[in-house]
Amino acid sequence: MAGYVGSSSALEDLFGAKLQGKEGPVSTSEALAGKNAIGIYFSAHWCPPCRGFTPKLAEWYTKDLKAKGLEVIFVSSDRDEAAFNDYFGEQPWLALPFEDRDRKDSLSKKFKVQGIPSFVILDAEGKKITTDGRGAVEKDPTGVDLPWRPKSLKEVLSGAKLVKGDGSSVNLSDAVAGKKAFGIWYSWFSCQCFERFVPVVCVSSDRDADSFKSYFAEQPWLALDFDNRKAKEELSTACKVEGIPSFVILDPSDFSMINEDGRAASSGDPEGKELPWIPKAVKDLAQGPGAINEVPTVMVFCESSSKEEQTALADALTPLAQNYRDEAKAAGDEDPALGFMVSTSAEGLAEKVRSMINLPAPSTKEKPRMALLDMPHNGSYYVADEDTDVNLEAVMKFIADYKGDTLTGHAKLPTRVFPK
């Protein structure tokens, strides 16, 4: 079925009034009218994986995808306009004008692009469908499932076959009835998993059924039927799983996601006193990096403070942090514009972060220190002055200066340096 004309203002907000066509500038609203999907292709001529993927995508686009309503917009990370022109000359679609670097940066930040090639799929209204367009098109190069809208957790789980250790099938709704939460545990036979995690459903990444059966025999819970590899992939996409072991906490009432970082939540509360582990607005770095890679994060280092002082700092920041989360939810965004963390332990990740931002190890008399890590924006970070008294007012001023681009002490780190 033919697509419909999306909101021209929304699309122009994203891409500007003009895009670059093969014969020169074209109207964004006219060029994208009637499309079923819009693919934003972040790429560059200097990138070897890009040069390998671009000819394939161009072939698929020309042969099938264009006719099925997909338009592609090339967003260049080339170092100069000559390289852009040379590379764009090989491509059969549209491009964001090279000189519009501010919009390029805005698109990269909006869709959390941290490496290229990256292929983001939008609907006709300019709303995100998936950031894993590359994986989607590689699995479906003829566009049978275009626009590659990922299934929801409820859609995947409702039709999934679950098994017990004896091989018998079980209904998930019956298995989780009356529970506060249930978990999806991603693992495989050779993975050193933690026995304190108690999920309901194991999703195996084993290479063969025999390895799965051997591993599953040690587990007291349910498992996704190993033969249903498609459901495994759909579930991994819906749960945003990037590596194993991974533990995702879901709501039994509607199968919605409660906490995608169940590993950190359960390790910090092995007895389940805080089930269902609803994510706190102010996270503790001691329990993992959270979304530092994806979300600019205000971090308060208070390792030398007493437990009461640490709790008071987190409590003081919670209303502000929750406001950012509420704004994101109202806007339909996955992540807030800012994240908030406290560092209560000098070991582990705190030691690494302090070293990276040139913050000395805490002394026994150190007062709380404040920093802002902006990993999505080229790994930028800022550290507040040593004599700053960290309180809500100081944090709000720090944020205002960050938004106003007036913070001093700016520096950069390699992007995505924190493992999930």
Question: pTM for this structure?
Answer: 0.69
Distance separating alpha carbons of residues 372 and 397, to the nearest angstrom: 12
* Residue pLDDT, tens place only, 339-397: 999 999 998 899 999 998 989 999 888 899 999 998 877 678 999 998 899 999 999 99
Distance separating alpha carbons of residues 66 and 37, to the nearest angstrom: 10
Fold adopted by 8-139: Glutaredoxin (3.40.30)
Distance separating alpha carbons of residues 292 and 304, to the nearest angstrom: 22
Asked if the model's pLDDT at residue 65 lies above 90, the reply is yes
- Average confidence (pLDDT) over 294-323: 95
Asked if the model's pLDDT at residue 289 lies above 50, the reply is yes
- Average confidence (pLDDT) over 86-103: 96
Evaluate whether 391 touches 314 at the Cβ level (below 8 Å). Answer: no
Q: Which residues make beta-bridge pairs with 184?
A: 201, 248
Distance separating alpha carbons of residues 24 and 377, to the nearest angstrom: 31
Asked if the model's pLDDT at residue 416 lies above 70, the reply is no
- Average confidence (pLDDT) over 181-207: 64
CATH number of 282-412: 3.40.30.10
* Residue pLDDT, tens place only, 132-172: 999 999 999 999 999 999 888 888 888 788 888 778 888 88
Residue 273's contacts (CB-CB under 8 Å, 6 or more residues apart) are none
Most trustworthy range by pLDDT among 29-33, 175-179, 197-201: 29-33
Q: Tell me the CATH architecture of domain 153-268.
A: 3-Layer(aba) Sandwich (3.40)
Asked if the model's pLDDT at residue 83 lies above 70, the reply is yes
Evaluate whether 419 touches 289 at the Cβ level (below 8 Å). Answer: yes
Distance separating alpha carbons of residues 324 and 296, to the nearest angstrom: 12
Evaluate whether 222 touches 201 at the Cβ level (below 8 Å). Answer: yes
Cα angle value 224/227/230 (rounded, 5°): 80
By CB neighbour count within 10 A (0-12 exposed, 13-18 middle, 19+ buried), where does 178 fall?
exposed
DSSP state of 74: E
Handedness of CA 131, 132, 138, 139 (dihedral sign): negative
Average pLDDT, the chain: 87
Each domain of the chain, given as residue ranges in start order, spans 8-139, 153-268, 282-412
* Confidence (pLDDT) at 409: 63
Distance separating alpha carbons of residues 207 and 4, to the nearest angstrom: 43
The answer to whether domain 8-139 and domain 153-268 are alike in fold is: yes
